[in-house]
Structure 1
Amino acid sequence: MDLPVMPPVRPMLAKSVKGIPDPDRFGGLSFEPKWDGFRCLVFRDGDEVELTSRNTKPLTRYFPELVTAIKEQLPERCVLDGEVFVAVGDRLQFEVLQDRIHPAKSRVEMLAEKTPAGFVAFDLLALGDDSYVDRPFVERRAALEEALAHLGADGPCYLTRITTDTAEAQRWFEHFEGAGLDGVVAKPHSAPYAENARTMLKIKHSRTADVVVAGYREHKNSTPERPLLGSLLLGLHTEEGLQHVGVAASFTDARRAELIEELQPLVCPIEEHPWGHWAEFLTANPDRVPGTQSRWSQGKDLSFTPLRPERVLEVGYEHMEGRRFRHTAQFKRWRTDRDPESCGYEQLEEPVSYDLGEVLSGSAGG
């Protein structure tokens, strides 16, 4: 492989902002949907194709169907920045995508046929013998559109939608979540492709929920002399009982020490805890319950300290993935005024349903 831009390359990143920013403050902005998949750089030189992750790790062996598609659909010599995703029905499914990272070739090949991945391109680093990394985004986008003008709505390779209209960007932010997208990204028109720099802007959904604190894990630096809380295990009530919904973490060391001391009166035997039966599991079940193992956590101590589920916490979260928070929730405040049994899924905001095919095809405008 001999390209103007060669791996390893760390992709350009984004910093979070609240609300759709004013383009005039940045000398012009273009807005794109924020895809919820694996960030991926594609390097193609004829029959040679390499896929690398955000952290420059190889992804090629996990997506053989994309290697074939790239050879058929993308320019013969190019370096593209984009996202690998898996769609089931009319929504992106991140958990199904995670299943593709598997050590067994036979399973990878089976999943490539059963749940094939797609690739959506949103930036151009090189084309033919020319590097584009030092060119402003508007030039890179124009060249990318010309190079991928032949791509249609059938995939599996796509060109992401784009708009300079802030009202349209706001509409995307509100509606595309129903197709499993993660928000909106804004790109300054004059910005070059800055490797590993937070040049772009991201606008993500932010919500709150009242959840039950059902346990905690200790921090990796915790000692018997100075115990530190690592994360809080969170639950929501259903007709079947208390459902594990995610974790809250990211505390200062001082706060970790305060929290673990504050929660000691609630510590209870595992046999008396609603999640006590999970101790029998040896592999992770679909709800990723505490104390279970998976290929993502082998070798880690996933045991937890059970707490009587009597305290309610308000947390911030971005969006749900099935019955769980997609990302780590943010500790907001204790809710001493809330009854734990009143904390259920009905309080969670449901995004407007939206067809992923319309996002990919651009049939809804933009």
Structure 2
Amino acid sequence: MDIFENKNIKPMLIGENQEAFDSPDYIYELKLDGERCIAYLDKDVTELRNKRNMKMLAKVPELSKIHKQVKHRCILDGELIIIRDGVPDFYEIRRRSLMSNTFKIQLASSKLPASFTAFDILYYDDHSVTDLPLMQRKKLLEKVIKENERIAISRYIEEQGIKFYQLAKQNNLEGIVAKRKDSKYYLDKKTKDWIKIKYLLDDDFVICGYIHKDGGVISIVLGQYLNKELVYKGHVTLGLSTEDFQLIKTTPQLSTQPFNELPSGNENAVWLVPKLVCIVKFMMKTANGGLRQPVFKGIREDKSPKDCTI
């Protein structure tokens, strides 16, 4: 079946985390702090879908004409971002993706417009190009797109991964991604051909419940899946906004806790159906898998709870 007509692509995922390294076999790109998106661009229409294949254009109507910036029918893999103070702001794109009020979306899009940065091409003209080596796909990408303020091509450097990582770190950016030059694009697979090199650590967790603490403080109970079973991963308290908690509170409740093993200190928790996913920043993981200095970064709709794995 033609992947352009089917419009059900699940993108390739990063399969490894490493320290920064130099290699002539890799290119290095900035890891943009946004929302992963697949763009289906034809001569008359733009369609944007996130990793769960949810349509996104209603959330970012300012991108409805980016099909006019491509010279051939294509499918692009990239990142939806909103730039604030010169850097991608994950909170803003997450906030936008959760909006449903048309007027508020239009207001937000005029104040802080989104853009799409393409880092790969999966389809060109009338056929899939996923079997081409990465560097050939990069050349095709440059050939297809006419950049403007709403659509851009991800820049990369060759060989000097350590210096590039240091530059990202100096600018307080999320990190970089190393990609093997000869790698193909594998739909719906994690691959070690793409390597994440992060300065600011974060991970995705299932929201399993919450606890009211003294002084009106709310602590979110986190979990991740191991062999289809939820494993307790601790709490996060800092960074939780009123807006996020209002959404969490509307989640249906469970009568019992969802874990096989639960440490003490959770007796007063309100347990929730595990349907929401959040991102949590932290300094490092402890020896037993806990999080040191965790900070709640936001709820994400583009990832299934079952994909939050240890």
Shorter-chain TM-score above 0.5:
yes
Cα RMSD between the aligned structures?
4.4
Q: Please, which moves more after superposition, 128-137 or 13-22?
A: 13-22
2:53 corresponding residue in structure 1: 56
Equivalent of 2:40, from 35, 40, 43? 43
Within-5 A mapping of 1:169-180: 169-177=161-169
Is it true that 1:205 corresponds to 2:199 in the alignment? yes
User: Does residue 294 of the first structure (1) align with residue 246 of the second (2)?
Assistant: yes
> Aligned partners of 2:200, 2:85: CA distance in 1, in Å?
25
Q: How far apart are residue 5 of structure 1 and its match?
A: 6.5
Tell whether the 8 Å contact from 2:116 to 2:152 is kept in structure 1 after alignment: yes
Matches of 2:169 and 2:142 in 1, distance apart?
25
1:164, distance to aligned residue in structure 2 (A): 1.3
Question: 1: distance between equivalents of 2:241 and 2:38?
Answer: 33
- Cα offset, 1:15, TM superposition: 1.8
TM-superposed CA distance for 1:288, in Å, is: 2.2
CA contact (8 A) 1:92 1:179 kept: no
Determine the structure 2 residue equivalent to 1:110.
107
Picking from 90, 95, 115, the partner of 2:91 is: 95
User: Residues of 2 paired with 1:233 and 1:32: CA distance?
Assistant: 42
Once the two structures are superposed, the pairs formed by residues 1-366 of structure 1 within 5 Å of their partners are 6-21=6-21, 23=23, 28-68=25-65, 70-101=66-97, 102-148=99-145, 150-151=146-147, 155-166=149-160, 169-177=161-169, 181-199=173-191, 200-205=194-199, 249-250=223-224, 256=232, 287-288=239-240, 293-295=245-247, 298-300=250-252, 326-327=280-281, 331-332=285-286
Closer/same/farther in 2, CA of residues 163 and 20 from structure 1, 3 Å limit: same
Larger proportion of strand:
2
* 8 Å contact kept, 1:30–1:162: yes
Contact 1:123 1:140 in 2 (8 A): yes
Paired amino acid for 2:166: E
The answer to whether the 8 Å contact 2:17/2:195 transfers is: yes
- Determine if contact 2:23/2:159 at 8 Å carries over to the other structure: no
Q: Contact 1:41–1:53 at 8 Å: present in 2 too? A: yes
How many angstroms does 1:143 deviate by? 1.0
The structure with the greater share of residues assigned to helix is 1
Provide the secondary structure at the position in 1 that maps to 2:135: helix
CA deviations 1:313-350 (Å, max 9, x no partner) are xxxxxxxxxxxx8436765169xxxxxxxx9x9xxxxx
- The normalised TM-score by structure 2 is 0.68
CA drift at 1:299 = 2.2
Local SS of the residue matching 1:299: coil
C-alpha distance in structure 1 between counterparts of 2:243 and 2:151, whole Å: 39
Work out the percentage of aligned pairs sharing the same amino acid: 23
Check whether the contact 2:77–2:120 (CA below 8 A) recurs between aligned residues: yes
Q: In structure 2, do the counterparts of structure 1 residues 14 and 5 end up closer, same or farther at CA, with 3 Å as the change threshold?
A: farther
**Aligned residue for 1:280?**
none
Structure 1: how far apart are the matches of 2:242 and 2:111? 29
Distance 2:154 2:131 in 1: 21
For 2:230 and 2:251, how far apart are their aligned partners in 1? 28
Change beyond 3 A, Cα 1:186–1:175: same
Distance 1:181 1:246 in 2: 26
Distance in 1 of aligned mates of 2:114 and 2:185: 26
Per-residue displacement from partner, 1:20-53 (whole Å, max 9, x unpaired)? Answer: 34536xxx21111111101011001111211010
Once residues 15 and 88 of structure 1 are traced to their aligned partners in structure 2, the CA distance between those partners, rounded to angstroms, is: 29
Verify the 8 A CA contact 2:210 2:219 in the aligned structure 1: no
| Contact 1:40–1:81 (CA under 8 A) maintained in structure 2 | yes
- Bigger mean CA deviation after superposition, 178-187 or 88-97: 178-187
In 1, Cα distance between equivalents of 2:217 and 2:167:
28
Cα–Cα, structure 1 residues 98 and 90, in superposed 2: closer, same or farther, change >3 Å? Answer: same
User: Quick one: which amino acid aligns to residue 46 of structure 2?
Assistant: V
Which deviations, in whole Å up to 9, do the C-alpha atoms of 1:252-305 show, x marking residues without a partner? 889859x99xxxxxxxxxxxxxx9xxxxxxxxxx94258973346632559xxx
**1:146 aligns to what SS in structure 2?**
helix
Q: Secondary structure at the match of 1:99?
A: helix
Separation of aligned partners in 1, 2:6 and 2:230 = 44
Q: CA deviation at 1:146?
A: 2.0
TM-score (norm 1): 0.59
Q: Which secondary structure does the structure 1 equivalent of 2:245 belong to?
A: coil
Deviation at 1:10, TM superposition (A): 0.5
Q: Report the Cα distance in structure 2 between the residues aligned to 1:78 and 1:195, rounded to whole angstroms.
A: 16
Runs of 5+ unmatched residues, structure 2: 255-263, 266-278, 296-310
Instruction: Give the whole-Å Cα distance in 2 for the aligned partners of 1:19 and 1:299.
Output: 38
Give the 3 Å change call, closer, same or farther, for CA 287–191 of structure 1 in structure 2: closer
The AA in structure 1 aligned to 2:87 is R
